[in-house]
């Protein structure tokens, strides 16, 4: 058991990220974080008054990572604006599928983002990456229409992640229009994005 730490708060946040992704945020506790970090059970309480404050830190890290992923796709110089947009959509989907529990926490109502400025700002920064590429694809678009377009595309991709994560929607098991459509989407997500995410 460790009782002294170079940067205990950062170690606890890193441990919380691991526990969240492996077990889900609803199963997290300050004690489970202490166990993962190999520190005393009272250690987390020195830095986090509530579980929500620790969840906010984990969610913030998720949005920072997502923003970086989207930014990297957006700044690929060899791609056209449309290709960048599709690359960003694919990157977002991959993040939502590979980091399920972190992604769920980031969009969960268990945290009031307005109470945690760093979390709120990191979420806004990730969303702004979408706004930048859509503004590039739609020169002269009004701020209102840009906002609506952002919500439209974000909602579509967000919903697609939910569908792709539903293992029961598989054309090989469900011979229905919905099942067959999902089978096609699963086999070629990019083609679906090209047809569905008209910009």
- Crossing angle for the helix pair 51-74 and 8-23, nearest 10 degrees? 80
Closest residue by Cα to residue 74 from 139, 127, 133, 131: 133
Going by the DSSP 8-state scheme, the letter that residue 6 receives in this structure is S
| Architecture category of domain 1-49 in CATH | Orthogonal Bundle (1.10)
pLDDT digits (tens, 9 = 90+) for 126-170: 999 999 999 999 999 999 999 999 999 999 899 889 888 876 555
pLDDT per residue as tens, the chain (199 positions): 445 456 888 999 999 999 999 999 998 888 888 888 888 888 888 888 888 999 999 999 999 999 999 999 999 889 999 899 999 999 999 999 999 999 999 999 999 999 999 999 999 999 999 999 999 999 999 999 999 999 999 998 998 898 888 765 554 455 555 555 666 666 677 777 777 666 5
User: 73 and 87 in contact (C-beta within 8 Å)?
Assistant: yes
pTM (predicted TM-score): 0.84
Residues of the chain with CATH 1.10.10.60: 1-49
Residues of the chain with CATH 1.10.357.10: 55-196
For 74-133, the DSSP string reads HT-TTS-HHHHHHHHHHHHHHHHHHSHHHHHHHT-TTS-GGG-HHHHHHHHHHHHHHHHH
Q: Specify the CATH number of the domain 55-196.
A: 1.10.357.10
User: 32 and 92 in contact (C-beta within 8 Å)?
Assistant: no
């Amino acid at each position: 058991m460790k009782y002294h730490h170079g940067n205990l708060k950062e170690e606890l946040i890193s441990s919380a990220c691991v526990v969240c992704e492996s077990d889900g945020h609803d199963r997290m506790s300050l004690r489970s974080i202490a166990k993962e970090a190999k520190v005393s059970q009272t250690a987390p309480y020195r830095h986090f008054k509530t579980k929500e404050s620790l969840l906010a830190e984990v969610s913030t890290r998720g949005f920072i990572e997502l923003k970086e992923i989207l930014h990297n796709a957006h700044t690929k110089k060899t791609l056209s604006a449309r290709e960048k947009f599709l690359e960003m959509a694919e990157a977002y989907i991959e993040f939502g599928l590979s980091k399920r529990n972190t992604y769920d926490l980031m969009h969960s109502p268990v945290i009031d983002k307005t109470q945690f400025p760093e979390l709120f700002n990191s979420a806004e920064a990730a969303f702004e990456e979408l706004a930048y590429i859509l503004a590039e694809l739609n020169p002269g678009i009004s701020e209102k229409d840009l906002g609506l377009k952002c919500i439209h595309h974000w909602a579509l991709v967000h919903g697609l992640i939910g569908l792709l994560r539903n293992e029961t929607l598989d054309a090989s098991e469900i011979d229905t229009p919905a099942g067959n459509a999902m089978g096609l989407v699963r086999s070629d997500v990019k083609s679906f994005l090209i047809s569905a995410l008209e910009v």
